Structure 1
Amino acid sequence: MSDEPRPPERRSIKDKLAHVPPTPASAPPNPLTETTTTAVGGLDMLSSAYRIGEGGRVVHEKVSAPLAAPLQRIEAAHAIELDWASAHHLLLLSSEVEPDEVEALAVSVWEDAGWSGPGMLRLGGQAALQGPWLVDTDVRRALGTAADLTQAWVLICPATRGPAPTPEIIERDEWARAFPEGMPAGVEYRVLLSLRRMARRLAGAIRASGSGQVITPDPDSAVSLAVYSPRWVLPDDLLGVLRPVFPTVMDSRDVGPAEPRRPTRREVQRISAMVDGRVDLPEEVLRSIEESRRRAAEEPQVVDGYALVAPVGNRSQVLIEVRQVPTVPQALRWETWSNGVVVEYRLRWQPDGELAPLQSPLTRTARLERLRSARDIEEAAGLVFSVVGGSVVDEDDFLVALDTSS
């Protein structure tokens, strides 16, 4: 028999770990050398764990391994450079806003949003947010941003420009003022609109590159709410839920019409002539009228929604529109009931006609009325939610957590 050495046999790491002898019960563990293995890139736990024993031996332990460490998402924040900040669109936030809040809103808007690396939040397509960056005093003054917005997220997105807006549009539209040389289009425009929604929710602002225009949406301007649920509630039942708090709430079909305008003498004469048959209508108009009357008499009235009206604030009202909808907002796409029947209970704020909620800045009276109305609408949404369940979103389709303890 030949004594020549044979070539070494190749064995996989998995096979080697499977034949590791178990550790003796008397061997004390060494906390400096203990380690575990888990499936790479997943969250599934293996049924075995291993540690390095004396002499460098791999020791097999009959215990479950913990989850692997999560992906590092955020690096230590550094001060942003002025040139880098000026060359990109910025989402400006206060230092109190956590990166998890930015991520939650991004996931509520974009299907594929998530962390692609430390400090890089992927939005969709080629768009991403990089940050957070610190905005020091010198950079803030150069950018012309508010003193409390000391956190910046840089938008990484290809620029797409359309035609320049006219002077009339620039006077009325904030985006036109931010892009006087050419309006953003395509992905860039859609991302900027979504960032404005995020800025309103987080009491932040957007600074446009180039012009340096700062867009600061009013966080208190989002007053209306919507409740999405798989449950349909009849009008009388919902009225019964709301009346203890809103005693004058009523079905919109029971609301009397406004006092009609008195017709002029000429209008009265023309109506009388039509009733008496002294005015000849075209034959196709007569057939259409007769067909409409016949259908109204034969076909039953089908109601697939209803609306309730209640006073809120001092001089405003809330319109609660109830209807079935085909889809839910993006933020609710993971709800188990979102693939079935979905009912929308939308609570719309209808301010008094004398107020001008779209004017800026608002008067003190308008702000107080809006604040009182928002409080009442939130209470009404809480009552609806307590009956139908589901989820509540704001005007920007972001999730809202209501305090229904009372």
Structure 2
Amino acid sequence: MDPALPRLPLDDPGLRTRHLLALPAGIGPDEVEVLAVSRFPAARWETRPGVLQQRAPGARGARGTGPTPGVLRVSRLSTLTGPYAVQPGEALSLGLPAATAVVYDAACPRERGERPYPGGDREGLKRAFPDAVPVREEERVLLWLVAVARRLGGAVRTGERGTVLTPDIDAAIDLTVYTRGWLEPDETLAVVQQVLPRARLAMDGVPWTGPAPDAGRHARPGLAALGVPERGGAGLRDALERHGIEDEDLRRRLHAEAEAYDRAMLAEPPPQTGYGALVDLGVDGLLAIEVHGEEVLPPLLRELPWAKAGAVAYRVRWEPTDIEELELERPSFEHRVARGRAMPQVQAVARALHAAVGGEIADAADFLVNPADL
């Protein structure tokens, strides 16, 4: 146990009703602060962890009164207090992993909704709250705590039931490169093929040659059942006749204008705003690379000069053969084996794209990733 940290107040009766973030040794409060700002842009230390200094009566200067926890305000209603040191026996008494070295105490509103719906539960919140799932602020804080635990190899003890969530650190392997650099489809394909030669562009579709030759010329079956008169109704017909326009003339004019617009769009299509590429991984599923403009960026990127007006996102996603397993807290052994084989390929493609276009890499939780760590 680190003697420089305050002890976790196990005698606090409210401790076991609040959410706790448990982390292994070697993770400093600065790392937790960065991850807080990554999700809550206004997060800040109200009190930094350290040694409280106070002047003793009749003494010269100040003296330390022992280590004190910090108070990190993550939002207007929620705080994270810590780090606290814990011994292995204390961690086990709370149901936390034996490797737990420090604990943060999360205080947030208790906001619960309905019973959880059936279906996936990647974060484990449905298991932890079977009667009423957290909503609003409590849900936001808990999802962040689980994301931090996944990123740092820790665990989360949830409130009054004391359910412990130990998220798989490899459960979310998708990566996104954010940058101002735009690559044309063939350029992106060339970059990806440096890593995975089997990659191909996923831009095939059904060619569109314009509307049908008789489009707009004849009423279609079923209009009468919808209450639409075959020839526009008496009121419309009377108005057209007053202006010397026959109903069929109007149809022909509208059809000619639409046809001219379609020909212009086919001749000069609008600039491309997105495209994709695929890599067939066989029994391990697919690797999808999606390129498009993105206006909503991770908080840590929004104030960067090159990202103020948005950015280009190069998303590298793994799709297993059974998509539903992505949402399971504990997927099958086969899924985890396939994921383990796909992970280095996701990372290699993200590294190659980053080397080509620059910018920043973010994981599935919008936490930034150092390319050197991939």
Q: Where on the TM-score scale, by shorter chain, does this alignment land: which range?
A: 0.7 to 0.9
Deviations, residues 16-63 of structure 1 (Å, cap 9, x unaligned) = xxxxxxxxxxxxxxxxxxxxxxxxxxxxxxxxxxxxxxxxxxxxxxxx
Kept after mapping to 2: 8 A contact 1:327/1:338: no
Say if 2:10 is the partner of 1:94: no
Q: Equivalents in 1 of 2:258, 2:125: separation in Å?
A: 47
SS in 2 for 1:319: strand
Q: 1:333 aligns with which of 302, 317, 322?
A: 302
Identify if the C-alpha distance between structure 1 residues 296 and 319 changes in structure 2 by more than 3 Å, giving closer, same or farther: farther
Q: 2:195 aligns with which of 245, 248, 251?
A: 245
Q: How does 1:105-144 map to 2 (within 5 A)?
A: 105-117=35-47, 118=49, 119-144=70-95
Cα drift, residue 242 of structure 1:
2.0
Say if 2:126 is the partner of 1:196: no
Say if 2:177 is the partner of 1:221: no
Q: How does 1:1-400 map to 2 (within 5 A)?
A: 76-81=5-10, 83-117=13-47, 118=49, 119-157=70-108, 159-165=109-115, 174-180=124-130, 182-254=132-204, 280=221, 282=223, 296-299=262-265, 300-302=268-270, 303-312=272-281, 315-353=284-322, 356-400=325-369
For structure 1, the 5+ residue unaligned runs are: 1-73, 257-276
Cα drift, residue 154 of structure 1:
0.1
Identify if the C-alpha distance between structure 1 residues 344 and 171 changes in structure 2 by more than 3 Å, giving closer, same or farther: closer
Name the Cα RMSD after superposition: 3.3
TM-score by length of 2: 0.72
Kept after mapping to 1: 8 A contact 2:121/2:328: no
Deviations, residues 251-304 of structure 1 (Å, cap 9, x unaligned) = 102489xxxxxxxxxxxxxxxxxxxx9x946487999xx798775444243331
Q: Equivalents in 2 of 1:361, 1:384: separation in Å?
A: 31
Q: Give the letter aligned to residue 32 of structure 2.
A: V
TM-score by length of 1: 0.67
Moved more, 332-341 or 369-378: 332-341
Q: Equivalents in 1 of 2:332, 2:310: separation in Å?
A: 43
Q: Equivalents in 2 of 1:360, 1:178: separation in Å?
A: 12
Kept after mapping to 2: 8 A contact 1:134/1:152: yes
SS in 1 for 2:187: helix
Kept after mapping to 1: 8 A contact 2:195/2:352: no
Cα drift, residue 116 of structure 1:
1.5
SS in 2 for 1:239: helix
Identify if the C-alpha distance between structure 1 residues 148 and 403 changes in structure 2 by more than 3 Å, giving closer, same or farther: same
Q: Give the letter aligned to residue 82 of structure 2.
A: G
Moved more, 127-136 or 185-194: 185-194
SS in 1 for 2:191: helix
Deviations, residues 198-238 of structure 1 (Å, cap 9, x unaligned) = 11111212111211111222110111100000111111111
Q: Equivalents in 2 of 1:190, 1:255: separation in Å?
A: 39
Q: Equivalents in 1 of 2:126, 2:35: separation in Å?
A: 25
Q: Equivalents in 2 of 1:170, 1:88: separation in Å?
A: 26
Q: Give the letter aligned to residue 87 of structure 1.
A: T
Identify if the C-alpha distance between structure 1 residues 242 and 186 changes in structure 2 by more than 3 Å, giving closer, same or farther: closer
Cα drift, residue 180 of structure 1:
4.3
Q: Give the letter aligned to residue 391 of structure 1.
A: E
Moved more, 88-97 or 74-83: 74-83
Q: Give the letter aligned to residue 9 of structure 2.
A: I
Deviations, residues 115-154 of structure 1 (Å, cap 9, x unaligned) = 2113112212131111111232443233222211232100
Identify if the C-alpha distance between structure 1 residues 132 and 380 changes in structure 2 by more than 3 Å, giving closer, same or farther: same
Q: Equivalents in 1 of 2:292, 2:346: separation in Å?
A: 18
For structure 2, the 5+ residue unaligned runs are: 50-69, 207-217, 232-250
Q: Equivalents in 1 of 2:131, 2:367: separation in Å?
A: 32
Aligned length: 309
Identity of aligned residues (%): 30
Identify if the C-alpha distance between structure 1 residues 124 and 334 changes in structure 2 by more than 3 Å, giving closer, same or farther: same
Kept after mapping to 2: 8 A contact 1:91/1:207: yes
Identify if the C-alpha distance between structure 1 residues 392 and 313 changes in structure 2 by more than 3 Å, giving closer, same or farther: farther
Runs of 4+ displaced beyond 6 Å: 170-173, 283-287, 290-294
Q: Give the letter aligned to residue 356 of structure 1.
A: E
Deviations, residues 302-359 of structure 1 (Å, cap 9, x unaligned) = 3311111123485322111111112321121232211135111111111124983434
SS in 2 for 1:356: helix
Q: Equivalents in 1 of 2:174, 2:341: separation in Å?
A: 12
Higher RCO, Cα 8 Å, sep 6+:
2
Identify if the C-alpha distance between structure 1 residues 351 and 165 changes in structure 2 by more than 3 Å, giving closer, same or farther: same
Q: Equivalents in 1 of 2:131, 2:192: separation in Å?
A: 51
Q: Equivalents in 2 of 1:312, 1:328: separation in Å?
A: 29
Q: Equivalents in 2 of 1:312, 1:362: separation in Å?
A: 19
SS in 2 for 1:244: helix
Kept after mapping to 2: 8 A contact 1:312/1:377: no
Q: Give the letter aligned to residue 193 of structure 1.
A: L
Highest CA radius of gyration, 1 or 2? 1
Q: Equivalents in 2 of 1:396, 1:131: separation in Å?
A: 23
